[in-house]
Amino acid sequence: MIFSVLGRYFFTRYLITVGWFFFGVISIIYLIDFSEVIGNISVDAGQGTTDAMLITALRLPYILQQTIPFIALFSAMVALIALNRRNELVVTRSAGISVWQFILPFVIGAALLGAASVVALNPLASWTQKKAIGLEAIGHGQDRTVPWLRQLTDGQDTIIGGRGIAENGTELLQAVVIYFDDQGGLVKRQDAARAVLSNGWWTLFDVTETEVGELSTHRDEVRVKTNLDEQFVQQNLVQPDLVSIFALPRQIDLARQFGISTNALETQYNYLLSLPFLLVAMTLIAATVCLKFSRFAQSPAVILGGILSGFLLYVTSVLVKAFGSSGVLSPLLAAWIPVVVAMALGLTILLHQEDG
């Protein structure tokens, strides 16, 4: 069916609908996110409207990939409703073509959309989001969760953290280093524009140093010795959803070598692998509510039911993914159970509607 003239026509209609939804979603995301970013940039740090536009553009792929399941759902619904309204599906059925044949182009389109999201959009989102976090941290005027790391090197007890991370965790932005004595008392604090980890040293740049009972002094560069391994720091600081699909297997192996829990990384990896099948499930759900012929318009209640079903599937997959990341469920089950159940449910409803 997909290689026939009719199959190619349905496939083309689906791709055109997906393209329009991408354009609309990207426009809405950019406008909404820009209004948020422009209010958070720092004029004191030399940032302006151009920087806000750049940060918003860099954040766009990361936010967009969260909306892919809904784009697949609404694209399939709109395309099928449009074909139904123009009686094209009625003519197709009268020609003896079953629902399983003419739904195939939409299923293949959804699978290809999922595959493109995994192999192209995900690595792009991973790279751009890290850059956006770095630019945001430069002029951010509000406190953020600081990823504190404790180290004991040559008898010196210190903790180090920052407002943001870059370079996969080996660079801290708006870094803070706090020194303690043998009794745990505060000795000294260093605030730096950034801290770079390399070859057993944290190199601090543009440092303001404050010792107890002394006035603050400024130093261009300070080196702090550390026994923290670069890969170990990366494992502790980088969020799983900021790691691309191609880097996840290596990150999982490294986490195992360091004895760090791999639940979050494995759950993210399996979720990305299951994404094409999740979009197929979304398409089947759309088909269950959009294939019944209606001369004037589809029932609003039926359409709303399809939207709510897709939304429920997405929320369930996110919730179960959180269970997998926390270790409550196996990462493999957490990623695949919602997809398998949704596909089985969609196929069952279609079988009941079409074949009794």
* Cα distance between residue 260 and residue 231, in whole Å: 12
* Cα distance between residue 138 and residue 26, in whole Å: 26
Residues 112 and 170 in one domain: no
Q: What is the dihedral of CA 164, 59, 66, 335, to 10 degrees?
A: -40
Domain boundary among 228, 252, 282: 228
Is 244 a member of any domain? no
Domain boundary among 188, 210, 228: 228
Task: Write down the pTM of the prediction.
Answer: 0.78
Q: Note the pLDDT of residue 277.
A: 94
DSSP string, 126-142: HHHHHHHHHHHHHH--S
Q: Is the pLDDT of residue 66 over 50?
A: yes
Domain span at residue 16?
5-139+260-355
pLDDT in tens, 69-110: 999 989 998 888 888 888 787 788 777 777 778 888 999 999
Residues 97 and 10 in one domain: yes
What are the start-end ranges of the H helices in the chain?
Answer: 5-38, 49-66, 68-85, 88-94, 99-102, 104-116, 122-139, 230-237, 248-257, 263-290, 300-326, 331-355
pLDDT in tens, 304-317: 777 787 788 888 88
Q: What residues pair up with 166 in beta bridges, in sequence order?
A: 171
Is 21 a member of any domain? yes
- Whether residue 131 contacts residue 168, with contact meaning beta carbons closer than 8 Å, is answered with no
Is 59 a member of any domain? yes
Domain count within the chain: 2
Residues 181 and 89 in one domain: no
Mean pLDDT estimate for the chain = 83
Pick the closest to residue 51 from 168, 144, 121, 59 (CA basis).
59
Which residues neighbour 54 within 8 Å (Cβ) at sequence distance 6 or greater? 135
Q: Note the pLDDT of residue 245.
A: 92
Is 245 a member of any domain? no
